[in-house]
Structure 1
């Protein structure tokens, strides 16, 4: 892949590069299985602001043996902004605002103009699982393992993953996954609808490249409209969804004919 531009932020534990309409974001703390820190979240949000407008696909991956082992517990138990004790001392409003800042590192992956793909191998635990859930699609290596492990710390998932999890697997299964914190192997993830595809580890990069090429072969504006239609479908009635389809198709027809505003 020819890199048109790159931004390496190794100190933050995240780097990104762009090749044409594709941006690849890599978590790069392999010595700790890409355990996440506030510095990484800050850099992920920075990347979201720096992405050029011609980027259509974002691929998210982890360097080394795992996608991400979740929150770096040494940080959570330390004295910084993400330390659990520090957060507990804030007012409820301040604490919620601080968490909103953390969430911003994850939720931009749902941006309507982007198609986001998580390439998952090894562990994707807690914040790692939620990072993958915020992506539109998830391609898993056969050694991938998901776990919503926040409950083991007496916490709740709070990084934008609960709605997508419930949409994918239903309320009862989402509840079971979250309250047990158990590990979900790649084959079960496929059965539950958490994985777009599961492939042998050696084929992960190729599978992601094939999916990316298929997305890029489609009209970009049509893809954005389709994503918006499907993303909002669960919250609309049938009549509302029919109307949304009509309006989206009208925009496409006018754009294709050159008569759009």
Structure 2
């Protein structure tokens, strides 16, 4: 990716913007891009700082691993400096605990905004929160050394950073349950064959593959992509007949726009 002045660069997250393309980079390779509440707040801020010109957001990570998941410091009694420990959270009220988890989830929700297409470029380990961050994106391009794993159940927890919905949608309930309950690794080959990833490439070709996909997305009129994304995302929640209605309405909007006719 081109070197640009960062719009945001803190707590292990860097955001750069080049006209229609924004790049969010995890920048703590020495810790395998382990995640923390501070990193999640930085990711949320990155989403808020995106200018309206951005059409594609690329999520990438420095180093050999995309993200090893939640920093294990979270499981110590002390937790992170200035943050409530997990023990403190557990001792709080239901409302406080729910609000805190909801705040953490904000870092994982904006990637699927209707006006954007997000691409995760994933290499090496993507474990737990790292797996869920990759799942937060619309598309995943993976290196051939990728290893996805959902390890929350081995810690007595559940995946709670919005990863369960897209995982079931991509690979189906039975496989999603098996992946989460066993915590096993999912390789590049399996991730492509099951629909978890769009394509796998040699690690040294990852950036080029993402660049090519980005260019292809930008070659299509933005409003057509926005309408198509909305149709596809809503398809599973609509009946066949309701989807037909939605398609007609979307196409009518596109035709009127192309013809310069107001509704």
TM-score range with shorter-chain normalisation? over 0.9
Structure 2 residues without counterparts, runs of 5 or longer: none
C-alpha distance in 2, partners of 1:115/1:171?
25
C-alpha distance in 1, partners of 2:231/2:28?
36
1:72 aligns with 2:74: no
Partner residue in 2 for 1:134? 136
Q: Is the 8 A contact 2:127 2:148 kept in 1?
A: yes
Q: Could you list the per-position Cα deviations for residues 7-49 of structure 1 after superposition, in whole angstroms to 9, with x for gaps in the alignment? A: 2424x11001011100000001111100001111001111111
Which of 236, 239, 251 in structure 1 is aligned with 2:238? Answer: 236
Distance apart, 1:251 and its partner CA? 0.9
Partner residue in 2 for 1:180? 182
Partner residue in 2 for 1:204? 206
Q: What is the number of residues matched between the two proteins?
A: 260
Structure 1 residues without counterparts, runs of 5 or longer: none
Distance apart, 1:89 and its partner CA? 0.8
Q: Is the 8 A contact 1:67 1:122 kept in 2?
A: yes
Q: Is the 8 A contact 1:151 1:181 kept in 2?
A: yes
Q: TM-score, normalised by structure 2?
A: 0.96
Distance apart, 1:141 and its partner CA? 0.2
Query: SS in structure 1 opposite 2:237?
Result: coil
Q: What stretches of structure 1 move > 6 A for 4+ residues in a row?
A: none
C-alpha distance in 1, partners of 2:179/2:100?
26
C-alpha distance in 2, partners of 1:60/1:83?
28
Mapping 1:1-261, distance limit 5 Å:
5-10=5-10, 12-77=11-76, 78-80=78-80, 81=83, 83-260=85-262
Q: Could you list the per-position Cα deviations for residues 211-256 of structure 1 after superposition, in whole angstroms to 9, with x for gaps in the alignment? A: 0000000010100111110011001000110011011111111111
